[in-house]
Amino acid sequence: MTPSPNSEHRPNTEAHDVDSPFLDSLGDGALFDALVGSQAKAVDAVKAAQTQIMDAVSSAAARLEKPKARLVYCGAGTSGRVALLDGVELNPTFNWPDGRLHILVAGGSASIVEAQEGAEDDEAAAARAVDDLALDENDVVIGLAASGTTPFVITALTAANQSGALTIGIANNARTPVLVEADVPVFLDTGSEALAGSTRLAAGTSQKIALNIFSTALMVRLGKVYRGRMIDMRVTNRKLRSRALGIVRDIVGCSEQTARDALEASDYDVKRSILMARGAGRDEAIALLDKHGGRIREADRDWMSQS
């Protein structure tokens, strides 16, 4: 993770890793090993940031428990695409409402399929994007920038702070503006890269891992996971209907037919189906979930105590 001697004034992510040989000098096996080794640094960096990541989860969960609170991702280049990849999975996996999720990528949708590198400097676009959201103290904004100095992300975090929203910053260089600007900074110390400046390697991988952990742990804390299952997922195809059937059977310990009947009667709402497979009527299941803020763990315990 040590930068090369001639790069002391450059960010680590721009420097060549002196512990890694020049990639273009390597044969196939050594090239593969060098690249895998560089990716392994991403895992180590995330492990070292455990406290910061879980602080971000706890702080975000406290805000997002509120009915209309929104989660906003913000990034540019590789970081923007990593943010998009994590964010778009929240609706199908956890049924996180589309209206409560926003992903601000520098350069807009065009940057997803074609690099718009100049867009990362567009501070005015970032300010407009945040202003259009009319954020408040219930919202959460998570900004990613490997360098920690991306103007688009810094401006978005600054504007979000002014609105009272919770801000989380993820960067791969220490003491950079993205980390300083954020209420909850997450420093992923991947150091210099095997391919100097290519933050889609160790830095990008570390951001993907960190976001996987952040968003999954966040949804766990928001009650969208029960007994290790995705009980709030959207059931939209044959594969997911089969998965929902397995979830209800596993949790309730009922027959396949009982689980299927409950799912069909609840329009494939997995949480309601769990209660209905235990014997609750549809209205009773809805009332129990409403009573416990949609949390199936508490609703299930309540029903079982009455049975």
Which positions are catalytic?
Answer: 89, 120
Q: Quote the distance between the C-alpha of residue 170 and its chain's center.
A: 11
Indicate if the alpha-carbon torsion angle 90, 91, 96, 98 is positive or negative.
Answer: positive
Give burial (CB, 10 Å; 0-12/13-18/19+) of 275.
buried
DSSP assignment of 246-262, as one string?
HHHHHHH---HHHHHHH
Q: Which residues pair with 3 in a beta bridge?
A: 17
Given a contact cutoff of 8 angstroms between Cβ atoms, the answer to whether 74 and 161 are in contact is no
Structural tokens at position 80: 């923007």
Q: How far is the C-alpha of 235 from the C-alpha of 206, rounded, in Å?
A: 30
User: In 3-state terms, what secondary structure has residue 274?
Assistant: helix
Given a contact cutoff of 8 angstroms between Cβ atoms, the answer to whether 272 and 266 are in contact is yes
* Rg of the chain in Å (alpha carbons): 22
Residues 6 or more apart whose Cβ sits within 8 Å of residue 254: 248, 262, 277, 278
Q: On the CB side of 15, how many CA atoms lie within 13 Å of its CA?
A: 20
Distances from the Cα of 115 to the Cαs of 15, 78, 171, 199, in angstroms?
22, 9, 20, 14
